[in-house]
Amino acid sequence: MSDPSADHLSIIIDQKLTRLSPIPCERNLFRVHNPLRKTTMKVYEPDIIAIGPYHRGNPNLQETEEQKLRYVQQILRKAGASSVHRCIIAMRELEEKARKYYAESINLSEDDFVEMMLLDGCFLLEFLLSYRDFYLLGEVGDSVFEFDHIRYGLRHDLLLFENQLPFFILIHLAGMIGHEPKYVVYLAQSLIALCFSGANIRHSALDSIRIEDIKHLLGLAHYCMSSSFAEMVPLRNVGGFNGFINCTTVLQEAGIQIKKAKESTTSLLDISFTKGVLEIPPLFLDDSTESLFANLIAYEQYHPASTPKYVTDYIIVMHCLINSSKDVELLRHCEIINDVLGNDDADHAMLTRLAKNAVSSNKFCYSQVFNDVNVHCRHRRNVWMANLRRNYFNTPWAIISFLAAFLLLFLTLTQTVFSILPHAK
């Protein structure tokens, strides 16, 4: 019973405090925060399908709802079942755990949430299995794979930050049709490699992945991209983000050699600087690149402040190196930028958008690279030597001219010395 003498405002606030729901301890699925969304909303919005609750009910995404039911039917056929009863019972047991994965309070009834888990989970699982058959057999009797734009659009949508489903739902459904968790991870990795054009992401050893650590498809994509680089980072000095490096053209003028990293480099993120040489792994750009990197950056923004943000830091480095279309052109000539569209201005604009709200952690992965590059640029001798090479050793004819001039000067000095010697005696 409330105190009759209490201030009316204190009563209102006390009521709000009692209605306040506890913060879920396992939050892994968020919405993109406004600063990132304002940069370019389109890269975070699904075009074809809604997975999870955040875009459920979007009128623009209703065409694929029937396809979800067809995929449920196909999963039931593989499980040898004629009814969804057993699947529903299983999803109800996972419902509370799944709700805790979402940062927001999901305004869906228990039945609606369980239905979403079943339909979206079956769709994801059957899509992964069908993609395997499509690339093994070259053909699948499925309307989803009949048109390229639908297949590519679905690949795009399934790796959006706001379009995720807890991975343990896929694992549970796969077990009901006889597939091991590692096989589901393998299928997901294969799809992720295709989404990243195959070259920007490396397959990690399956044995190194703990199934319980995979929160969703985008989280697995992040692991695939950053895991091998993450193993190298503790071996280097990492510190806070404390400055920038110059763009590629300026670095080259300061005597730094820009080279494509060796083929043995295991990670796209492994940028290194040794003895005046900046080595950068090749980056492949296509229509899906911006969306993939933008959603990986959004995913990292919800990591704890003490956790390195590998993809975010990589984009910060590339943004520093590319200050204009001339820098893109230079990196393209070095075979570091590989763009199927061939538009240097567009590539520069894309990296600018990605880096606009990219915030590093207090463990910037490239702090030692930045420090070494800036120390190199501060030494005037390196700049002088770079100017000498650029002005006098940039072509074979320039080298021949320099050597001829040097030889002529040497002979002139020798002749002068021998003509002075008799007079000196």
Give all strands (DSSP E) within 224-371, no chain letters: 257-260, 272-274, 277-280, 283-285, 337-339
Cα(6)–Cα(140) distance, integer angstroms: 70
Task: Give the pLDDT confidence score for residue 233 in this predicted structure.
Answer: 81
Task: Give the pLDDT confidence score for residue 409 in this predicted structure.
Answer: 78
pLDDT tens per residue across span 136-159: 766 666 878 888 889 899 999 999
Coil, strand or helix at 32: coil
Mean pLDDT of the chain: 85
Task: Give the pLDDT confidence score for residue 61 in this predicted structure.
Answer: 95
pLDDT tens per residue across span 10-56: 888 888 887 766 655 567 888 998 888 877 778 999 999 999 999 99
Using the predicted structure, report yes or no on whether residue 179 has a pLDDT greater than 80: yes
Provide the residue type at 30 as one letter: F
Give 349's pLDDT tier (boundaries 50, 70, 90): very high
More confident residue, 131 or 217: 217
pLDDT tens per residue across span 254-312: 889 999 998 777 789 999 999 999 999 999 898 889 999 999 999 999 988 888 999 99
Of 214, 41, 37, nearest to 124 by C-alpha is: 214
Cα(327)–Cα(348) distance, integer angstroms: 8
Residues 6+ apart with CB under 8 A from 140: 130, 133, 134
Which residue has tokens 């538009």? 343
Q: Which of 377-415 are b and which e, b meaning 16 or more Cβ less than 10 Å from the residue's Cβ?
A: beeeebeeebeeeeeeeeeeeeeeeeeeeeeeeeeeeee
- Pairing outcome for strands 283-285 and 337-339: parallel
Task: Give the pLDDT confidence score for residue 180 in this predicted structure.
Answer: 95
Cα(29)–Cα(117) distance, integer angstroms: 14
DSSP calls for 342-374: --HHHHHHHHHHHHTT----SSBTTHHHHHHHH
Task: Give the pLDDT confidence score for residue 395 in this predicted structure.
Answer: 60
Task: Give the pLDDT confidence score for residue 305 in this predicted structure.
Answer: 80
Burial (Cβ within 10 Å: 0-12, 13-18, ≥19) of residue 245: buried
Among the residue ranges 94-98, 361-365, 406-410, the one predicted with the least confidence is 406-410
pLDDT tens per residue across span 225-256: 998 898 888 756 666 666 789 999 999 988 89
Length of the chain: 425
Task: Give the pLDDT confidence score for residue 51 in this predicted structure.
Answer: 98
pLDDT tens per residue across span 81-123: 999 999 999 999 999 999 999 998 899 999 999 999 999 999 9
Of 98, 100, 140, 141, nearest to 116 by C-alpha is: 98
Task: Give the pLDDT confidence score for residue 241 in this predicted structure.
Answer: 64
Task: Give the pLDDT confidence score for residue 16 in this predicted structure.
Answer: 82
Rg (CA), the chain: 29
Q: Please say whether the dihedral angle defined by the alpha carbons of residues 79, 182, 196 and 119, taken in this order, is positive or negative.
A: positive
Cα(243)–Cα(239) distance, integer angstroms: 11
Task: Give the pLDDT confidence score for residue 91 in this predicted structure.
Answer: 97
pLDDT average, residue stretch 340-367: 88
pLDDT average, residue stretch 378-384: 61
pLDDT tens per residue across span 68-84: 999 999 999 999 999 99
> ∠ at Cα 222 (220, 225), nearest 5°?
110
Decide: 17 and 119 in contact? Cβ < 8 Å: no
C-alpha dist (Å) from residue 377 to 274, 383, 386, 387: 13, 7, 11, 13
Decide: 249 and 209 in contact? Cβ < 8 Å: no
In this prediction the pTM is 0.85
Of 251, 336, 351, nearest to 294 by C-alpha is: 351
The residues that bridge with 277 in the sheet, in sequence order, are 257, 274
Residues 6+ apart with CB under 8 A from 84: 72, 76, 118
Cβ atoms within 10 Å, residue 127: 24
Using the predicted structure, report yes or no on whether residue 66 has a pLDDT greater than 70: yes
Residue ranges covered by each domain of the chain:
23-195, 237-378, 395-424
